[in-house]
Each structure stands twice: as C-alpha cells, then as structure tokens.
Structure 1
C-alpha cells in the first residue's frame, strides 16, 4: 500500500522531505491536469479527472504528518483512527484537561494573549509529537505510532478551536 509514495517516486517512510514531495506533486499534477485532456475523448477526460483526484488526495495525505503516519500504519493493517481506539496515556489525559480548561477560561475572558500562548504551547507539543512519531516509525513500534496519531488528532482539533476563538 505504498501507492501514494510510488505515485511521487518517494520511499514509504514517515521521515519525508516535503520540499521534494512538493516538487514531485507539481510535476505529476501538471502531467495529468484535466485541461491537458480537453480535446481528448470523454473516456480520456474522465481518466485524467480520476488521476488528478488521486494525485491531489495522495499529496494531501503525504503532506500532513498525521495523515502520512495513519496511511503508513494502514499499510500494516493498523487503523489508528478507528473509533474503538479511545484510550490515552494518563499523563496525556491530564495535560488535555489542563489545555481544555485554559482554552475555556481564555475564551470566556476573550483573552487574546492567553489564546496565543496556548496556541504556541500546542504548536510546540505538535512539533515534539512529530519527532516522537519519527522515532516510533524508525524503531518499528507501530502501536506507539498509532497512539501518537490519536494524540496528534486531539492536538490538531484543539489548535483549530483556539484559532476559531481568536478575534
């Protein structure tokens, strides 16, 4: 299931050079852009549209570290985002509650500085989590990587909520 990586001629690894991904995406997207097939048969136009859709989906998946991790885990038969996986480490749950409380207080007080500080703290946590994911994949510990994907999804959601609360 390294189809998306193969599409861009990249190794199927978590550690990915996104600059190379960007360049290869532009090259592949240009080759199959539907406008290039405007004068072709309806079948060829449809094929180009389907290929373009696949290229865009592959790029979105590989560009985002959590989606890339989930994709790699799926290739190993692990559904990191499956609804039955709801357990988190106790330390993460405590941190999660603290962040939620900070967000609620900052939102209620319309405290832009507190929201910005929380956003910076969550960004730092996301950066650290991506490093942990890199290590988990390098050490071939998929269960750890799956747990990190779930934690990362929470961090992304919290970051979106913070951004929505900012004026």
Structure 2
C-alpha cells in the first residue's frame, strides 16, 4: 500500500521532486498507480483497519493531486512547506504597477464590454501576464528559493486569474 509516512509532503507521496515546474503527466501517472493500489474496492474484504487506511490514502491521493495540479495551489503549498504563509485573507498589499495594470484592465473591460475584438485582445494581454507571472513564480521557487517573493507573486496570480474568469464570462456572453 502507498506510504502513509509520506503524507506530510505531497511531492514525496507521489515520488516527485519538490518544485514548482512539475511533470504533470508523471503526477497523473503516480496518482493513478496509488489509486489503483489503495482504491477502497480493492480492500473490501480486508480488515476494518485496512479498509479505513485504504480510504484515508485514497482521500489523501485525491487532495494531493488537486493541490499539485493547480499552479496556484502548488505554489502556495510549496511556500507553506518552507514556512511562508501567503496570508491570502489578510495581505492584499500589491505593488503599485500591478494595481495600475489591474485598474487599466478593469477600465478596458468596462469600456469595451460589447467589443469582441477588443476583449479578445485584452484576453491575450491577460494570458501573457499570467504566463509571465507563472515564469516568475517558477524562478522564485525553483531558482532563487525565495518563497516570500513567490507568495507575493501567487497573490498577484490570484487577481489575474479572477479577472480572466470575469473577462471570459463577458466574452462568452457576447458569443
């Protein structure tokens, strides 16, 4: 059965290196291997303890997969493993340039709400910003091991992703 002692580190649980840029197919493969091993149906004839452990491991595998698949959750998790709390609920301070860009995007969305080509161009800009931020997060975590900087960038990525959803919804309403 999967190693319960590795449950304190999702990367170790899946046999992956602890880094922001991960091999998603390898993650998926490790998940499927563990789920095959611990699936509760495989342990239906086992003791109560075996059944309970199988259920706990299957639940852990699901939670770990969802955490590591999401770039934001993965980054926050790595920061947490290194003692850095992003304080998402209380720390909303962002650099002025970032806030100005957010305000520009919001104005563009409001002013161009009926202009599909302009909204598509804005979506391209937002996606480029998202990719740049992901690259900066990878550098902060995998390169510089600067988890405080990574947490700041992750807070920004949350703003970018939230705006992208609003923008996508606006575009979808026009189509």
Q: TM-score, normalised by structure 1?
A: 0.88
Q: 1:133 & 1:2 partners in 2: Cα distance?
A: 23
List structure 1 runs of 4+ shifted beyond 4 angstroms: none
**8-17 or 42-51: which moved more?**
42-51
Q: 1:144 & 1:90 partners in 2: Cα distance?
A: 16
RMSD across aligned positions (CA): 1.9
Secondary structure of residue in 2 paired with 1:28:
helix
Deviation per residue, 1:29-50 (Å, 9 max, x gap) = 2211222223334443333222
Are the counterparts in 1 of residues 14 and 30 from structure 2 also a CA contact under 8 Å? yes
Matching residue of 1:97: 103
Deviation per residue, 1:63-103 (Å, 9 max, x gap) = 11111111011112211143221111110000000111122
Q: 2:154 & 2:168 partners in 1: Cα distance?
A: 21
Q: 1:81 & 1:116 partners in 2: Cα distance?
A: 33
Matching residue of 2:3: none
Deviation at 1:24, TM superposition (A): 1.1
Are the counterparts in 2 of residues 70 and 81 from structure 1 also a CA contact under 8 Å? no
Q: 1:99 & 1:2 partners in 2: Cα distance?
A: 40
Among 113, 119, 123, the alignment partner of 1:119 is: 123
Whether 1:154 and 2:154 are equivalent positions in the alignment is no
Unaligned segments of structure 2, at least 5 residues: 1-6
